[in-house]
Amino acid sequence: MPRRSGQPSRDDRLYADKRPDKRTPFEQDRDDLIYTSAFRRLAEVTQVVSAGEGHVFHNRLTHSLEVAQFGRRLAEKLVQEEPRVARRLGGIDPDVVEAAALAHDIGHPPFGHVAEQELNELVTRAGILGGFEGNAQSFRITTKLAIHSPKYRGLNLTRAVLNAILKYPHLRGTGGVQQFKWGAYHSEEKEFAFARELSPPADLRKSPEATLMDWADDVTYAVHDAADFYRAGLIPLDRLSKDRSERKRFMEGVFDRFQRTGKKLRYEAKEYKTAFEQLIVAFPIPEEYRGTCRHRQYLRDFTAGLIARYLNAVTLEPAKRSGEPRVRIRPRGKEVFMLQQLTWHYVILNPSLATLQQAQRRLIRELFEIFTSAATDQRQLTVFPFGVREEIEGAGGDKELVVRTVADFLSGLTERQVINLHRRLMGASVGSVLDRLTV
């Protein structure tokens, strides 16, 4: 059934078949997302390093739950403190922000951003303009791939939740930020347009609720990953707090890297440095983390203080001119940026992780080559799970749809599934006829 005609409403759905119950439409969306297999899969998807490293790091599932919790509290605070402004901005609903936060990473492939980059190169090289992007894949899952009803594809989420998922509210472009990050593929252009009807034509700003979800994502990643890697002995928060030379090496490394890559920063380097200096000198533990009761108490108090600090940094302001932001974050964005750079500098750019990522890229690349080749040979279709085989056969030889289906399949695997599948296809492990791979 087509959507209702008339003025776009926040709780419109593309298909009008959901039965009303005691929940609001946005509460229904939140609940439906939690029960998807795509959400459960995140328990075995890397945040920065694999949970199998022998240390309790965040994975994509625990990260998403924390983003959802923080995003909800942000929305509740703003609705309580600034209800009139929230209404003037079109409405802010805690359930919408929470649902968007739960959905924001479900399109993330195995092994984190390294697989995202590899899949994008492979899909683009195959001639598919939309490439591969984790945010666009999340939108595709919610609108096309997840199964909720025999009557349609996708979860049939409300317009407001779909719009709040769009961290990058544009399709892939050929210039500017649109060539590096995008929120939807051309295959979901209809659903994208449906979501964006809540925004003025040609308005490239994300919705206020998407902005809150995005800030919750940034804060959660910055604070909790820094704490994770301090516990693991990889980020020396204690040395940074008291050793000026260590701070200097870190900050020079950050800005040298940005200068080499040509990426532009929102503020001057000295502003970021000042913000970080003022923040890190307050770190309360003067030595390496040992897991004592005292260390645990101090670290918990420090991270909780940061979360409260960044919760209170957000206010609402109705835009006076087109293009102005409607959610203001002052002045803590510089601190959060520098906290994120700690993970980049000390963990992601560490040679030990870089060599591991090369192996992960190879796994993804070789599986993509095997399965794209098999998808064009009727005799080899049996290597695919039944659900994927059904999609490929239904593509009718459409190359773009076949390649997109292979990317859907690989990006929807857990990391353990990727490793086991590669071993089996390469003959390193014969496995068992009882091993079953489903989607």
Q: 348 and 400, same structural domain?
A: no
- ∠ CA(81), CA(82), CA(84), 5° rounding? 145
Q: 106 and 58, same structural domain?
A: yes
Q: 369 and 327, same structural domain?
A: no
Residue 1 belongs to some domain of the structure: no
340, containing H or E segment: helix 333-343
Q: 315 and 230, same structural domain?
A: yes
As given in the structure block, the two tokens for residue 188 are 């979901």
Q: Is 241 left (phi over 0), alpha (psi -120 to 50) or beta?
A: alpha
Q: Which of 318, 352, 386 is the last residue of a domain?
A: 352
Q: 216 and 153, same structural domain?
A: no
Q: 327 and 226, same structural domain?
A: yes
**341: containing domain:** 209-352
Q: How far is CA 315 from CA 143, 320, 381, 431, in A?
A: 31, 15, 54, 55
Q: 232-253, pLDDT tens digit by residue?
A: 999 999 999 999 999 999 999 9
pLDDT tens for the chain, residues 1 to 439: 444 456 789 999 999 877 778 999 999 999 999 999 999 999 999 876 665 554 567 889 999 999 999 999 999 999 999 999 999 988 999 999 999 999 999 999 999 889 999 999 999 999 998 999 999 999 999 999 999 888 899 999 999 999 999 999 999 987 777 888 999 999 999 999 999 999 888 888 999 999 999 999 999 999 999 999 999 999 999 999 999 999 999 999 999 999 888 888 989 999 999 999 999 999 999 999 999 999 999 999 999 999 999 999 999 987 776 666 789 988 889 999 999 999 999 988 888 777 888 999 999 999 999 999 999 988 899 999 999 999 999 998 899 999 999 999 999 999 999 999 999 998 876 666 546 666 6
| C-beta neighbour count of 223 within 10 angstroms | 24
Q: 362 and 312, same structural domain?
A: no
Q: 138 and 247, same structural domain?
A: no
* Three-state DSSP state, 241: helix
As given in the structure block, the two tokens for residue 409 are 């399949």
As given in the structure block, the two tokens for residue 363 are 């796994």
Length of the chain: 439
Q: 287 and 388, same structural domain?
A: no
Q: Give the chain's domain count.
A: 3
Q: 153 and 244, same structural domain?
A: no
Q: 170-179, pLDDT tens digit by residue?
A: 999 877 778 8
Contact between 415 and 42 under an 8 Å Cβ cutoff? The reply is no
AA letter at 255: F
Residue 20 belongs to some domain of the structure: no
Q: 303-323, pLDDT tens digit by residue?
A: 999 999 999 999 998 777 666
Name residue 314's beta-bridge partners: 329
φ, ψ for residue 386 (rounded to 5)? -55, -40
* Three-state DSSP state, 152: strand
Q: 137 and 37, same structural domain?
A: yes
